[in-house]
Amino acid sequence: MGISNVDDHDDAGRAGLIFSRAMSAGRLAHAYLFTGLEKALRERLALDMAGFLLCDQPVPVDAPSRACGRCMQCEKINRGVHPDLLLIHPEGGLVRLEQIRGLQSALAFSPLVAKRRVCIIFDAHDMNAEAANALLKTLEEPPDRSYLFLTAGSVAGLLPTIVSRCQVVSCSQSDEETVRELERDGTCSTDNIRMAIAMALGDTDTARRILDAGGKEFRDAIVDFIGQPKKQIAGFFDLVHGLSVDRSRLLAAVAIIRSLIRDILVIKGMDSGLKSSLDPCHLLINRDLCDILKDISAGLAREALDEYASWLDTIEWKLERNVNPKMLLETILVFWMQRKFTGNRRL
């Protein structure tokens, strides 16, 4: 399906206009993917559009289309009790197979109180392989009167087959526009820029931090530290020395490590039930490291990774509030020194 670009000046109103016109013309897609914006804003946009589709009296076509906010449907949404609005958030850093199966069970029935049913999958780029495969089946045979909304920073990390079955609503500049913008900043290669954008989930400022820190070379140094226990003592002090004096580099490191954790969790979710036509490595952000991350994954417990992924969010929050960066950095790195890995692959 195509991509609709939405100016970030009034995203809800403009996206609502897209929806109202599609509804009026009988061309409402069964699945929409909201990309771009900050996480909180794209989630708010998805919720606003879900409200618009469930509302009994939405504002007319060619107006800044939104739900009325007064009907029974809107009241239920506002109280968080609408039975036809299903919300799926990552659990322990991943959207999991059992969550998608629960969604499929709910979609097997007709809407309970509204004319339609809407399900929002937040942070869809965090689906593990099993969940992505199951969701693909639902997208291929969408239930009647049911609509799926996915949110993601960018299409990176999503199966191309999932993206192709969604109407993509881009709420900010495209990845290609971001590439051109970052190319104007310096002399980084286009491949390096694309890699940084993928790890940053489309966020330009984060991608710029990653590039300023060294881009692919910086990422590979972090992976080298994570995956090679014999080098970790020296690597620990090298990274502490190089990162603790530069908050921007440390934020870049957090973003890179988060993308690696996300990929390792995805790898752990892979099983033999995947369709043979799908390459599981396509689900990864760091696709060129697929074999290396498989080695690292073998020596890590899912529970520890889930806890660490949650802790990284806290670390970033504290960094942005000027908590001692060296202390936080040591906490980030010590996790890896406490693990025993089975892989010994070198970059």
Number of separate domains in the chain: 2
Distance (Å, whole) CA 60 – CA 132: 36
Are residues 283 and 300 located together in one domain of the fold?
yes
The alpha carbon of residue 259 and the mean position of all alpha carbons in its chain are separated, in whole angstroms, by 10
Looking at 120, 141, 172, which one is the last position of a domain?
Answer: 172
Please give the model's pTM, rounded to 2 decimal places. 0.58
pLDDT tens, residue by residue, 311-321: 787 777 677 65
Distance (Å, whole) CA 113 – CA 125: 30
| CB proximity list for 253: less than 8 A, separation 6 or greater | 213, 218, 222, 239, 243, 329, 332
Are residues 31 and 104 located together in one domain of the fold?
yes
10-residue stretch averages of pLDDT, the chain, 347 residues long:
45 57 71 80 84 82 66 92 94 86 92 93 86 89 89 77 85 68 75 85 81 89 78 68 74 89 82 50 86 86 81 72 72 74 39
Q: What one-letter code names the amino acid at 250?
A: L
Are residues 244 and 101 located together in one domain of the fold?
no
Residue 110 is part of a domain; what is its CATH number?
A: 3.40.50.300
**Nearest in space to 347 (alpha carbons), one of 281, 288, 268, 266:** 288
Q: Does 343 reside within a domain?
A: no
Q: What local confidence, expressed as pLDDT, does residue 20 receive? A: 63
Are residues 220 and 199 located together in one domain of the fold?
yes
Looking at 131, 151, 172, which one is the last position of a domain?
Answer: 172
Instruction: Give whole-number Cα distances, 101 to 25, 130, 335, in Å.
Output: 32, 10, 33
**Nearest in space to 227 (alpha carbons), one of 153, 336, 115:** 336
Residue pair 204/38 in contact (Cβ under 8 Å)? The answer is no
pLDDT tens, residue by residue, 167-222: 887 765 566 777 777 777 776 788 888 888 888 877 777 888 888 888 898 899 88
Looking at 172, 205, 220, which one is the last position of a domain?
Answer: 172
The DSSP bridge pattern shows strands 146-152 and 85-88 to be unpaired
Q: What local confidence, expressed as pLDDT, does residue 104 receive? A: 94
For residue 5, the SS3 value is: strand
Q: What local confidence, expressed as pLDDT, does residue 129 receive? A: 77
**Nearest in space to 15 (alpha carbons), one of 77, 58, 72, 74:** 58
Indicate the Cα dihedral angle 237, 238, 239, 242, nearest 10°: 120
- What is the DSSP code string of 96-115? -HHHHHHHHHHHTS--SSSS
Are residues 105 and 234 located together in one domain of the fold?
no
Q: What is the mean pLDDT of the chain?
A: 78
- What is the DSSP code string of 112-124? SSSSSEEEEETTG
Are residues 181 and 167 located together in one domain of the fold?
no
Are residues 56 and 116 located together in one domain of the fold?
yes
Q: What local confidence, expressed as pLDDT, does residue 175 receive? A: 64
Are residues 96 and 132 located together in one domain of the fold?
yes
Q: What local confidence, expressed as pLDDT, does residue 60 receive? A: 59
Structural domain of residue 105, as residue ranges?
Answer: 3-172
Are residues 165 and 46 located together in one domain of the fold?
yes
Q: What one-letter code names the amino acid at 3?
A: I
Are residues 119 and 261 located together in one domain of the fold?
no
Q: What are the start-end ranges of the H helices in the chain? A: 11-24, 39-54, 72-78, 97-107, 129-140, 160-164, 175-183, 190-199, 204-213, 216-227, 232-243, 247-268, 290-297, 302-319, 325-337
Q: Does 68 reside within a domain?
A: yes
Q: Does 198 reside within a domain?
A: yes
The DSSP bridge pattern shows strands 31-35 and 3-5 to be unpaired
Are residues 184 and 332 located together in one domain of the fold?
yes
Residue pair 157/123 in contact (Cβ under 8 Å)? The answer is no
Q: What local confidence, expressed as pLDDT, does residue 17 receive? A: 61
Instruction: Give whole-number Cα distances, 226 to 57, 191, 285, 313, 343, in Å.
Output: 55, 23, 17, 19, 11
Q: What local confidence, expressed as pLDDT, does residue 339 receive? A: 63
Q: Does 274 reside within a domain?
A: yes
Are residues 192 and 116 located together in one domain of the fold?
no
- What φ, ψ does residue 6 adopt, rounded to 5°? -120, 120
Distance (Å, whole) CA 54 – CA 347: 51
